[in-house]
Chains A and B, each alone.
Chain A
Amino acid sequence: MEQYRIDRSKGLEFGIYTLGDHLANPYTGQRISAAQRIHEIIELAKLAEQAGVDFFSVGESHQEYFATQAHAVVLAAIAQATKTIKIGSSSTIISTSDPVRVYENFATIDLISNGRAEIVAGRASRVGLFELLGYDLHDYEELFEEKFDLLLQINREEVVNWSGKFRAPLRDAKVLPRPLHGSLPIWRAVGGTPASAIKAGYAGVPMIMAHLGGPAAYFKRTIDAYREAAKMNGFDPATLPVGTTGFFYAAETTQQALKEYYPHINEGMKLTNGQGFSKQLWAQGGDTRHIMNVGSPQQIIEKMLYQHELFGHQRYIAQMDFGGVPFDKLAKNIEIIATEILPAIRKYTAPKQEAE
């Protein structure tokens, strides 16, 4: 785990991520400027660091209602504005980027941040960016696999010899600068289905899963499949961290949390995904067995501990800002995380001998 900068003695890591969506607050109909949104994301990272949150990440999404397409640039600003919190992408769409460029960017962010940068590489859940960035959607799968492999190779080797289909070959190429400690933690972003998780397992790379909704037990199968695939290909699953991500929102009571966050998710999904979030499904989100960490602080603690028991994962990353959540609510959530959730999660997930 050290290779991926995971210190297991501290228990489950807690992170916060944003996709950088730029949507109106459904309660007021007002949308802040893109400049304000980006500044608020940087401020959120600073608050997260003060609260003792372990990780903060920013995603890229090339479509209307998003503001962090150049997520590496935003992360560089966060690197400068913070001192201790680990930072990364969530995710970097490696399929439509040049791995050399991505590595240069993130190695630079790593140097700016004194060794805190990580890459989460994904395949894109939306495909409009293929046209925007000049790629053919028919190559969806191949583009990702080839470029992800190259990214891993650049991370492993100081001098790279490589050839492939989607990029000019590299001959004795040095990709510079190198990160502070020689390499970066690189994760594979995985959607809901086991297929991608199995590929991550075969490659022996850590994975971060996106969890939108449904019973937590459903996702255990995917995590088991990942570890099984890793084992079959000669990797020790105990050395490969697993991360989970999902909606997060805390309020005084579970009912209040569901009520406050719903319009943000529902209206936001309508605009960015074309369909709102069913109230029936949302209402189930309050159940302890449900994957969404929306609820009272106590309910969230119970959910997170239940998920940790099921998954045995090393990092959870919360998405609390989707759909124009005003900054004061985000700050309030971070306060609840710092004062109530983090102490409980760490107490119960740190290995026993360390905790005592």
Chain B
Amino acid sequence: MSGSRVGSKTRTALNHIQTSFAEKYPEVETSLIDLGEYDVQFSDGRNYLEYDGDTGIVARAIMDADAVVIGTPIFQASIPGTLKNIFDLLPESAFRDKVVGIVVTAGSSKHYLVAEHHLKPILGYMKAQIVQSYVFIEESDFYRKEIVNDDVLFRIERLVEDTVLLTKTYTKLREEKEAEYGF
């Protein structure tokens, strides 16, 4: 999910991520939600099932996923309102039993810890299994809507691998645990 309506860098990064999933794990089904392409309304407190139109489509897609890679630019040293609104639309335990990876694009390296301080606490609260290492991409890593820094490309590959590994591992652990309950 590309969490902004503004700019192209986050979308560019997520395109790479989707390609990487397709190449390495053809069995994994992915879809890319670019919030710039959807008309998502502001949360008004209703259950996510009660939203229709684009809002309902986006909310359901996230709720149905086993894993989510969240791509976000950093605006004003924080996550964009479009992304925060997605969290507001979902139930408090929306990411329970889901793995969540993070990709951050920013204009400056000084924004490196914004994901730690703003995004991870939200994901933690919403019960996500967070892929601890995220990919941080700066302005200088892009050239004409392409990522030109090999270090970033390698890190993207590792994020994809970690996301799949954690999802498989967590699913297996959970199934083993749930089998013990006998219901």
Contacts and interface: CB of A to CB of B under 8 A. Distances in A.
Interface string B64-98: 00000000000000000000000000010110110
A39 interface: no
A259 interface: yes
A258 B96 CA distance: 21
A283 B47 CA distance: 26
Given A137-B45, A275-B91, A278-B96, A262 B183 contact: yes
Given A274-B63, A274-B91, A279 B47 contact: no
Q: Classify chain B's interface size.
A: 10 to 19
Nearest to B183: A259
Given A128-B46, A258-B183, A280 B177 contact: yes
B183 A126 contact: no
B46 A127 contact: yes
A126 B96 contact: no
B180 to A, nearest CB: 9
A262 B183 CA distance: 7
B50 A126 contact: yes
B50 A127 contact: yes
B48 interface: yes
Contacts of B91: 273-275
B154 interface: no
B183 A279 contact: yes
Given A127-B45, A274-B49, A282 B183 contact: yes
A126 B46 contact: yes
A contacts with B: majority SS? helix
Contact of A127 (B47, B93, B94, B97): B47
B46 A283 contact: no
Contacts of B45: 127, 137, 140
A9 interface: no
Interface string B24-58: 00000000000000000000111111100000000
A279 B93 contact: no
Contacts of B183: 255, 258-260, 262-263, 279, 282-283
Interface string A184-202: 0000000000000000000
B143 interface: no
B50 A128 contact: yes
Nearest to B97: A278
Contacts of A127: 44-47, 50
Contact of B47 (A140, A262, A273, A280): A273
Interface of A: 63, 126-128, 137, 140, 255, 258-260, 262-263, 273-275, 278-280, 282-283
Given A63-B50, A126-B50, 13 more contacts: A126-B47, A137-B45, A140-B45, A255-B182, A258-B181, A274-B47, A274-B63, A275-B93, A278-B93, A279-B181, A280-B178, A282-B181, A283-B181
A-B residue pairs, 4 tightest by C-beta:
A259-B183, A127-B46, A274-B49, A128-B50
